[in-house]
Amino acid sequence: MRNHVHRNILFYLIVNSLFILMVFFVIVQGQHLEPLSTDYPDIATNAQNHLLAYEDLGTVITKNIINNLDHPLSLMFLQIAIIVLMARLFGFFFSKIGQPSVIGEMTAGIILGPSVLGMCWPQLSSFLFSPASLGWLETLSNLGLVLFVFIIGLELDSNLLKNKAQTALVVSHASIVAPFFLGVCLAYFLYTGFAPKGVSFLSFSLFMGIAMSLTAFPVLARIIQERRLTQSSLGTLALTCAAADDVTAWCLLAAVVSIIRAETIMTFIATVVLSVLYILFMLYFVRPFLQRLGDIYVGKAHVSKGFITVLFIVLFLSAFATETIGIHALFGAFLAGVIMPAQNDFRLSFISRIEDVSLVILLPLFFAITGLKTQLGLLNAVHLWFICGLIILVAVMGKFGGSAVAARFTGQSWADSLALGALMNTRGLIELVILTIGYDLGILTPIVFTMMVIMALVTTFMTRPMLWVIGHFFPNADLKGS
């Protein structure tokens, strides 16, 4: 055995040494093929340069690292590592103080932006997030948004909409109409001083209305799960209302974006016609096709990669179609999630495959991009903070008030009605998604965008304290679950 080992080592040394010598010989001979020119330094000059480089090795290493850091790909990996780390740390901290981790991730994005890092350490901020390096992050964050909205569509339980459809429809639409109206009224007073130049009042007011009308279904679902309210009447009604709210809000958003993007009335009509045809095609052709595939492949022990590939192709083609039509790619991603095969176990398995990449890596990039657009330093006057407070007040009055009053009208107790209003007032990440769309479309100025981001954070943060207060005044109400 020992002789066998020695023989292998000897063979390794001889063969590798022989080939290294032959490579060196070919390179030396090949150098004679180079033309004599001043463009090619002689051997002595090369040797001198190599010697100098060796003598100053520390400087060479430093310069090499700095030069490589300037490469967009190197900087992108550093950005991703820092963003994901900060998102995890702040998410963990906020979860420990009883808040959804998404609030911590949203806060981490703002801290990495000009509001905190740019103010406290401008050199580091300009190095990490120079405008020239943000193209990669923008692209990856958009991919993360598409996957996230796709997950929302996958999580949407159509059975919820059927079980309490009547009550949910009344409460959900009241929780949309009331804040939408207040948002339009608010736009009337903000338009002159805060709307971008060239933006019509119609576009500005409609977008402010839809931005006030949203409920963050994923955050609401997590709060209900953590409080063990999933099987309670309140939890079921809240999930149903949020699901109906999601469907309605995304349809309204698609309509608003098509109005904003339309250059003429004929452009808008064409967008509406194409949108209706697209929705009908997805519901009555693609959905049955995917369901048949699901019946074939889902029951097997291992779902084939070919089937998963088909589902992702449907997702991306749907996003491409809605972006091309003019109603934004996120609506296509949402509808693609809704029409996926209905088997619940498969949906949960499919979601778990996507969530690790989407929620852990790609979504924090979106928070960072949002944080770079959020500039708290722009709110440098008392009247601007007053307007920010007014936006928060209008958002709470519309969503909390509209939901609570409608729930009470349908026969719910005051405790459940107020709790439902508090839950529906949760905006979270969905609000940031909508605000980013408005910012990219040029509907929101940086100042209004910053105010609306603050509103999203505050209304999401206040959900648990509001539930605690309601539970304090209505001690007999079951707001903690079993």
Provide the pLDDT for residue 284.
Answer: 93
Q: Is the model more confident about 469 or about 46?
A: 469
Q: How far apart, in Å, are the Cα atoms of 203 and each of 24, 64, 86, 193, 253?
A: 70, 50, 36, 15, 12
CA separation for the pair 294, 313 (Å, rounded): 15
Question: Quick check: 55 pLDDT over 70?
Answer: no
Provide the pLDDT for residue 158.
Answer: 63
Q: What percent of the chain has pLDDT over 70?
A: 87
| pLDDT grade for 41, boundaries at 50, 70 and 90 | low
Q: What is the mean pLDDT of residues 413-422?
A: 88
Provide the pLDDT for residue 187.
Answer: 94
Q: What percent of the chain has pLDDT over 90?
A: 23
Residue 442 falls in which region: left (phi positive, over 0), alpha (psi -120 to 50) or beta: left
**Of 184-188, 295-299, 433-437, which gets the smallest average pLDDT?**
295-299
Provide the pLDDT for residue 165.
Answer: 60
CA separation for the pair 208, 269 (Å, rounded): 23
Q: What is the mean pLDDT of residues 444-473?
A: 90
Could you read off the pLDDT of 279-323 as tens digits, one per residue? 899 999 999 999 888 888 776 657 778 888 999 999 999 999 988
Burial string for 237-248 (b: 16+ CB within 10 Å, else e) reads bbbbbbbbbbbb
Q: How far apart, in Å, are the Cα atoms of 55 and each of 42, 50, 58, 59, 64?
A: 20, 9, 9, 9, 15
The whole-chain average pLDDT of the chain stands at 83
Q: What is the mean pLDDT of residues 15-29?
A: 87
Could you read off the pLDDT of 241-293 as tens digits, one per residue? 877 777 777 788 888 888 887 767 777 788 888 888 998 999 999 999 998 88
Provide the pLDDT for residue 48.
Answer: 47
Q: What is the mean pLDDT of residues 16-44?
A: 75
| pLDDT grade for 482, boundaries at 50, 70 and 90 | very low
DSSP 196: P
Question: Quick check: 52 pLDDT over 60?
Answer: no
Give 380: exposed, middle or buried? Use CB within 10 Å, 0-12, 13-18, 19+. Answer: exposed
Q: Which residue, among 109, 197, 52, 157, has the nearest Cα to 432 in the 3D structure?
A: 109
Provide the pLDDT for residue 44.
Answer: 47
Geometric angle at alpha carbon 240, from 239 and 242, rounded to 5°: 65
Q: How far apart, in Å, are the Cα atoms of 113 and each of 2, 42, 92, 104, 229?
A: 63, 51, 20, 14, 36
Q: What is the mean pLDDT of residues 195-217?
A: 88
Provide the pLDDT for residue 58.
Answer: 66
Domains of the chain: 157-357+382-473 (1.20.1530.20)
Which positions ≥6 away from 214 have C-beta within 8 Å? 245, 249, 427, 430, 431, 434
Q: Is the model more confident about 357 or about 55?
A: 357
| pLDDT grade for 35, boundaries at 50, 70 and 90 | confident
Q: How far apart, in Å, are the Cα atoms of 242 and each of 110, 331, 406, 422?
A: 27, 17, 14, 12
Provide the pLDDT for residue 360.
Answer: 85
Provide the pLDDT for residue 480.
Answer: 57
Which positions ≥6 away from 415 have C-beta within 8 Å? 470, 474, 476, 477, 479
Question: Quick check: 380 pLDDT over 80?
Answer: yes
Most confident of 32-41, 79-88, 145-154: 79-88
| pTM score, whole prediction | 0.78
Helix (H) or strand (E) holding 116: none
Helix-then-strand count for the chain, H and E:
25, 0
